[in-house]
């Protein structure tokens, strides 16, 4: 599944270059990236094992180096990984966590679950 490179979400300001991206647009990029199993595997490998080259990653995942490189390019464009300067084929990719934190805040709001908690509070008080 191809990643639309950096979809500018509805409501996102026209690309001015200087203004910081809208949080929702950042979160959307994270969710789009994570919707693909190969990209999840790449990000998980970088998260658990630290920075790695495309060749390293191809050795650890059931996909070719070319496929890894294609996904890394898209993830770089979306700001989810950064390439560390290096000789060709020895460029190491590093997870860039800032967009994940933005997405995590979105998930945190969904997961707070006040409905269940307030139900529990009401049940508790009605038992007394």
List residues near another protein by CB under 8 A.
11, 20-24, 26-27, 31, 34, 40, 43-44, 47-48, 50, 79, 82, 94-112, 114-115, 117-118, 120-126, 128
Contact status, residue 61 vs residue 70, Cβ threshold 8 Å: no
Query: Rounded to 5 degrees, what angle do the CA atoms 41, 111, 72 make?
Result: 20
Q: Is the dihedral of CA 31, 37, 39, 41 positive or negative?
A: positive
Q: Which is nearer to another protein, 58 or 100 (CB)?
A: 100
Q: Report the alpha-carbon distance of residue 29 to residue 75 in Å, rounded.
A: 9
Q: Report the alpha-carbon distance of residue 69 to residue 20 in Å, rounded.
A: 27
From the CB of 76, what's the least distance to another protein, in Å? 11
Q: Which is nearer to another protein, 43 or 74 (CB)?
A: 43
From the CB of 19, what's the least distance to another protein, in Å? 10
Q: Which is nearer to another protein, 67 or 106 (CB)?
A: 106
From the CB of 127, what's the least distance to another protein, in Å? 9
Token readout for 9 is 């979400």
From the CB of 61, what's the least distance to another protein, in Å? 14
Q: Which residues pair with 69 in a beta bridge?
A: none
């Amino acid at each position: 599944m191809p990643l639309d490179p950096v979809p500018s979400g509805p409501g996102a300001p026209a690309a001015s270059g200087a203004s910081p991206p809208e949080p929702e647009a950042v979160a959307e990029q994270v969710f789009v990236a994570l919707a693909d199993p190969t990209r999840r595997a790449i990000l998980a490998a970088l998260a658990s094992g630290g920075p790695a080259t495309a060749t390293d990653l191809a050795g650890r995942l059931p996909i070719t180096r070319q496929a890894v490189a294609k996904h890394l390019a898209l993830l770089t464009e979306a700001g989810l990984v950064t390439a560390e300067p290096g000789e060709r084929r020895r460029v190491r990719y590093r997870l860039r966590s800032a967009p994940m934190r933005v997405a995590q805040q979105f998930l945190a709001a969904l997961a707070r679950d006040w409905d269940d908690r307030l139900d529990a509070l009401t049940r508790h008080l009605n038992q007394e």
